[in-house]
Chains A and B, each alone.
Chain A
Amino acid sequence: MMDVGRHPKVELMTFSEVESITGFVGNFNVRVRQKARYVDASECTICAECAEVCPVAIPDAYQQGFSSRKAIYLPFPQAVPSAYVLDMENCLGNNPIACGKCAEVCEKKCIDYDDQDKFVDLEVGVIIAATGMDVYDPTAYDEYGYTRYENVITSMEFERLICAGGPTDGHFIRPSDRKAPQSIGFIQCVGSRSRDGRGNPYCSNICCMNTVKDTLLLCDHYPGIATKVFYMDIRAFGKGFEDLYMRSREEGVRYIRGIPGTVVENPENGNLVLTVENTTTGQLEEHELEMLVLSQGVIPRRDGDQIKHLLTLSTTSDGFIMESHPKLKPVDAPTKGVFIAGCMESPKDVKDSVTQAGAAAARASILLNAGKTRIEAITSQINSELCNFCGICAKVCPYNAILAPDRKAKKAPIIIQAACAGCGACAAECPQDAIGMRHFTNDQIMAQVDAILAVEPQKHLVTFACNWCSYAGGDNAGTARLQYPTSCRLIRTMCSGRVDEKFIMRAFRMGAPMVLVSGCHFADCHYISAVRWTQKRMDRIWSKLDRLGIRDDRLRLEWISAAEGQKFAKVMRELEDKVKSVTKEEIEFTMKVLAEEEAKAQEKKAKRQLEVTVL
């Protein structure tokens, strides 16, 4: 951090928060709130005299609450900038009756109680987000007694206790009697790899090696201390990690394969008695330890929704930020010009975070150095004559690429071509048909529907498949030589969000017995959230079919990923039977009803066009 702070080309804005981000790749406008520090950082010499006279004492969050800090304080010893900050929420104020002592003693006169938040507007070309993570709160695991027993601590608290800059100057003591413990236990996977709903299902990646490191620290500093690690699996897959793990075992650390079921405190000496099934021996064991460390997992940032909203990002099912492509674009966010690094993407250690940050910086500089960028060929375009300024397009766009219309000024929405990724959700949702796509046009898709149903329509299953997942799922089924019926006919769209109601109705109108819309699973959507609009739209179309007296189960929806060739084949086989169950009469009735509907719609459209011409 010190290096970053001193770098001539890096402007570090600490104690600041991003308020808003607008614009698009190459032209982002970022508004930053620089919070009031109440201390002039350029003048402060960290003499600490202000803190000495400050009468307020509150728990120090940096030291995990093991010690206290004053209302005017240095956040941590290596803080950049190296200057005090005044916590106004806890300050008594500068009224001489109340306090004002710090300002009195500050020789440099750098304390200003009237300091205000400042706003800074930045124009940037690209953004790298590296907002980190939070740690899991182990209170849900009541059996470990974290809230009941003083000598049960978390791995974060352990870090502070063993740190030379910590509250005990690095003397490792247990909280209840401030004595150096002779035995200590670690429980792994607290809040990770959990299937009971209390923790998270994923592996937190860093906890195993963190514990191995902690045991080695203990062995180095306190030879003779009995250390036991209770684990499910030790995952030591990084470079040199296995050696470290082996060293820990050689130093005498006992690794016991089993997670304790109960932890009870011995009231006489404050020791903790753990009951655990050793799954290697199958025996139920009891272990008495003087101290217990819960190796807590990591979780996505608690204020992650705010960051997601600012950068129009989406998350995977575990809550971490989704990358543009897990293998080919692991540091690119789906929004062009935005890159991600570190634990906001997934739990990772320092080395992986640094590697990812380097990659993100390199990817960002490619864009910056080029000075120009290739945009998608498949973008949407607005026919402003047809637009009625409803603004639905701007609402559905996952990329915020559409500037909302101005109804009063009769100004149609504007599509930022550089930001548009071409999902087509806006085109499918526009009630006025005022939005079209460049490539994969309405006419092209309709022509495919017509061609599929030109001969023996009653035998064909019309399937709309998204380019990235379902179409690739079909390919996967093919390359795996999985059998599926030949009656299935695929129409490729870039996203299932592009599948307009009128494509489906056209298929039914042309005699299709069944129509299937298939797309990516929500977590895999190539277009952030476009797939969610598909599901909403399907509800609407099912209701419409109901209203027209057409069986709703003739229109199907399936999420099929590129890897799910088997699911693709299975769905096709199942639907083949359903296709056969649709009667000739049913199809004829559907065609008749929809022909009437189409006639009505055309009449309405002609009337509107006439109105527009007259106006």
Chain B
Amino acid sequence: MTARDTHFKCLNCGHEYDGVYDPDKVTERTCPQCRSNSVRRLPEKKATAKK
């Protein structure tokens, strides 16, 4: 599996943003807006639909 662009959503403030997700190099997620760690990686299908 390789790194790919993914859509993230903060469950604390609702902020959504794009980022890179690499299943082999999982890094700590922090919402750039509110600093919460409740950042969900949206499933690919959903992310594409949102774009």
Contacts and interface: CB of A to CB of B under 8 A. Distances in A.
Interface of A: 521-523, 532, 535-536, 538-539, 542-543, 552-553, 555-559, 574
B18 to A, nearest CB: 16
A558 B38 contact: yes
Between A521, A523, A542, the greatest number of chain B beta carbons within 10 A of the residue's beta carbon is seen for A542
Interface in B2-46: 11-12, 26-29, 36-41, 43
Interface of B: 11-12, 26-29, 36-41, 43
Contacts of A521: 28
A539 B38 contact: no
Given A521-B28, A522-B28, A552-B11, A559 B37 contact: yes
B11 to A, nearest CB: 4
Given A543-B43, A553-B11, A574-B12, A558 B37 contact: yes
B41 A539 contact: yes
B48 to A, nearest CB: 15
Nearest to A519: B37
A157 B37 CA distance: 45
In the A-B complex, the 7 residue pairs with the closest CB atoms: A553-B11, A532-B26, A522-B28, A556-B38, A542-B40, A558-B37, A557-B38
Nearest to B41: A539
Nearest to A534: B26
B28 A559 contact: yes
B29 to A, nearest CB: 7
Contact of B40 (A532, A552, A574): A552
A553 B26 contact: no
A303 B29 CA distance: 26
Contacts of B29: 535
A542 B12 CA distance: 13
B36 A558 contact: yes
A521 B27 CA distance: 10
Contact of A536 (B11, B12, B26): B26
A557 B36 CA distance: 8
B25 to A, nearest CB: 9
A557 B28 contact: no
27 contacts: A522-B26, A522-B27, A522-B28, A523-B28, A532-B26, A535-B26, A535-B28, A535-B29, A536-B26, A538-B40, A539-B41, A542-B11, A542-B40, A552-B40, A553-B12, A553-B38, A556-B11, A556-B12, A556-B36, A556-B38, A557-B37, A557-B39, A558-B36, A558-B37, A558-B38, A559-B37, A574-B12
Contacts of A558: 36-38
A522 B11 CA distance: 20
A78 B12 CA distance: 61
